[in-house]
Each structure stands twice: as structure tokens, then as C-alpha cells.
Chain A
Amino acid sequence: MPLKLLFIFIIILFSGADALSDELKTLKAERVFLEEELKLAKEPHIYFIFDFKDKKILVKARGKAFKELSIKDFGFWGKPIDVKSAALIKKSSLFGPKRAKIKPGSAGDNVNGEDFQLDAIEIADMPESYSLSFNGIIIHIKPETEGVISLLKNTYRSVEWHITRLLYALWNVAQGKQFIAITISLKEEDAQALYWAAYEKINVIIYKPD
């Protein structure tokens, strides 16, 4: 009986210490995250939060979330990420949207007619697979797999991404920079909405407590 008690005491002692240090770690990460968000919330700009803890992407301003996109799946490659805001340098895709060019003198052409054709870029024109580049971090967005065609497309995208990622990694290593790659699967329309909302220099926080 005293032996059993001794074992239980040892287990409680160690598990208690582990739980305490885990909670401390989480709270510390959360504090850094909140401090970073506070900096962004003070500015009159839209920003994104990539929250891998709650698996969602938030479009925010002044601390208020205006849009929430659910992360279906994700993967990390490279060193652990510091919780820090970063500005979007570039968004790139194989088939990006093309802006329509207005021909001078064509304004109002048949705007009320049945065969009126809109010369605009809309959300449906946005790619569902693309990359968002930050300093040393690349986020690869792809749609979640639904059906055979989507599976084939995503297999092709995965192969393409693996090659691209390797090239990026080599390029960064050659320059002595660190490189982190993140893959995120979203619903197709959410991937398109994110591409639409992401503009150059928009700030993001990547929050992934260990």
C-alpha cells in the first residue's frame, strides 16, 4: 500500500510539473501573439491572423474579425515559427487573374442589354491554388480534396509544390536565410476569398503555439 502511494505521488509530482510548464509555454506564446496583434490593431489597416491553434484564418482590423475562414488541413516544413507579424511581399499563382483593359470610348456599351458582358475581375476569377510569400516564409494555399478531379489536381499541385519548395529552400540556404514552408488546405471559395483579400504589404500574424 505505501508503495502504491509512493508511485502515485511520483507520477502526480512529475505530471503536475509538466502540465504547469506546458501551460506556461502556451500562455507565453499567447502573450507574444496578443502583443503582436495589439501593434497591428493600433494601425488603421486590415490584417490577417493565421491561427493554427484554432485552425482558422481571420480577416481583422482594430482587433475585430470581419471574416473567418476555416483551415481544413495544414503542414509545416522548416524551423518553428516565431510569433511575429510579417508583411506580404508577393502572391503568386500559375494562373493568376488578368485585369480587363477598358477600351476608351466603350463606356456604357449595352449596359442594359441582355448580352451585356462584364469586364471585371471577380472572386470566381481568383485562383484556388497559390503561394503567399513573406520574408523567409512561404504559405502555399490549396483547395481541399473533393472528388476524383480535385484529387488529381491536388496530386499535381503537391508535386509542383514539392519541387518549388525545394528550390525555394535551396535558394534561401544559398543566401544564408532561414526558410519555412506552410501548406494550408481551404474550401475552394475560401481559398479564392483569401487571395482576393490579400494585397501586397498586408500584415499577417502566424500563430502556432507548440
Chain B
Amino acid sequence: MKIEYLQSLKVYKRLKNKTFLKIIIILAIAFLAADVIGYFTSRHSFKDNIGSAANARKTNKRYLTELKAKNRNLRGIIEGISPAGLYIVVDTAENVLFLKHGNKIIRKAVISAGSGSILKDPSGKRKWVFDTPRGEFNIQSKIVKPKWIKPDWAFIEEGENIPNKTSKKRIAEGVLGDYALGLGEGYFIHGTLYTRLLGRNVTHGCIRVGDEDLRAVYNASEIGTKVFIF
């Protein structure tokens, strides 16, 4: 009964008409648009707002292009800082040394880095921690047939009396291999007698390399070659 009543209404007949529906929708959109325009015109003039929105879009696009260029430029600057020629990277956790040129690995060598052990002077006045230092270094010296000038801790570790600074007892030959590359502050990349311990953390902070790898690293590097240790 009710349905029949509704169907008899003129409005229902009109709603069935597609053109009428389109008009309703267009009117709704027009009202919505007017509402939006009203919201904006209450703050700025409509003309200004349309103009600023368009300008903002333009500005954003320009800003986007500028930002892209700036980021590209920044990436270029960072890349420019990166070592360009040959350099050495030492991973003390994995006990490996990489001789690199750009992103290319020229040689990979198994090494021994610092043990991290602690030695205390029996007098209690001094303490040594045998870590390999981390950071960026330069090769400061290249030595063939290096002699080891034993520091005080070597005598303490061996339970011997510490000789004076100029004593011949401090000079040990043949223990550093055929070559040594000085990194400063008494740290070297050098050879080893204990090749079976390569790959383990056993040193007093220096970097021990096997004979063949040491020769290759020695020949490839120059004074000033960068060494990165982590």
C-alpha cells in the first residue's frame, strides 16, 4: 500500500528521470564548491587564493627541482671526499684486510688484529690495552726488513727487567716479517712468524699479514695511502 503511494508521488517519478538526477548532482557539487569558495574568501579574496594555490604549486615544483639538484650536488661532494685512488680497509672483527681502488677489491688478506687483552705493570703505575686503533690513518713509513724496537710492555709481558731506551736488548730482528708499513704511534702493518694464528685476534695492536699478502700490500701502497680501520 505504502509502496504504491510512494510510486504515485511526482518526486519518485522525477527521481527515476536520469536528467533530473544529473541536475541534482551538479547542484550539490555547485553548493559544495560555493561552500569551499566561501571558506577561502572569508580568509582571502577568492582571486588571491586561486592565484596563490597556483603559485604554490608552481613554487613547489620549482623547489622540488632545486632540492633534487641540491641533493645531487651534496651526493657529489660526499663522493668527492671518498678515497679516489688506492686505499686499505681493515675489518678487525673479521680479521681481514682489503686493498681497494674505488669500489673494486684488489686483494683480500687474512690478518691478525689486536687481542683486546690488558697488561698491567707489576708496579701498578701503567696499564696497556692491546686494541687495534680504529679510524682513518695514513701510511707514514715503508720499511724493508724491519727491526722491532721492543717497548716496555714487551719486557713486562716476558717477565724480564726493562732495559734503558738505547739498549741493544730492545732490538729484535726478523719478527716483523719482510716489510712494515707504519701507521704512527707505534702501530704497523707487518709480517708474522705465527702464520697459523692469522684470522685470530692475537696482536698487541699492530696488524699482522701473511708474507705474500704483505708483499702485495707493501708494493701497492705509498706514503700517504689511506688506511681505514674499524
Contact = CB atoms under 8 A, between A and B. Distances in A.
B83 A123 contact: no
Nearest to B67: A27
B157 interface: yes
Interface residues of B, number: 52
Contact of B81 (A27, A63, A106): A63
Interface residues of A, number: 51
B201 to A, nearest CB: 4
Contacts of A3: 22, 25-26
Given A46-B228, A62-B136, A66-B230, A23 B64 contact: yes
Contacts of B115: 100, 118-121
Interface string B5-32: 0000000000000000010011001000
A61 interface: yes
Nearest to A105: B159
The A contact surface, by secondary structure, is mixed
B83 A64 contact: yes
Interface of A: 3, 6, 17, 20-21, 23-24, 27-28, 30-31, 34-35, 37-38, 41-42, 44-46, 59, 61-64, 66-67, 97, 99-102, 104-108, 111-112, 118-123, 126, 192-193, 196-197, 199
Given A66-B89, A123-B93, A111 B194 contact: yes
Contact of B135 (A17, A41, A45): A45
Given A59-B230, A197-B93, 5 more contacts: A6-B29, A24-B63, A42-B81, A100-B116, A111-B194
Contacts of A34: 71, 74-75, 78
B118 to A, nearest CB: 5
A97 B79 CA distance: 36
A88 to B, nearest CB: 12
B166 interface: no
Interface of B: 22, 25-26, 29, 57, 60-61, 63-64, 67-68, 70-71, 74-75, 77-79, 81-83, 89, 91-94, 115-120, 122, 129, 134-136, 154, 156-159, 194, 196-197, 200-202, 226, 228-230
B167 to A, nearest CB: 18
A44 B115 CA distance: 24
A46 B135 contact: yes
8 contacts: A31-B71, A38-B74, A38-B81, A46-B135, A102-B117, A102-B118, A112-B194, A199-B134
Contact of A21 (B60, B81, B82, B92): B60
Q: Which of B70, B79, B129, B230 has the most CB of A within 10 A?
A: B230
Contacts of A44: 135-136
B136 A38 contact: no
Contact of B78 (A23, A37, A102): A37
Given A66-B91, A104-B156, A31 B135 contact: no
A61 B229 CA distance: 10
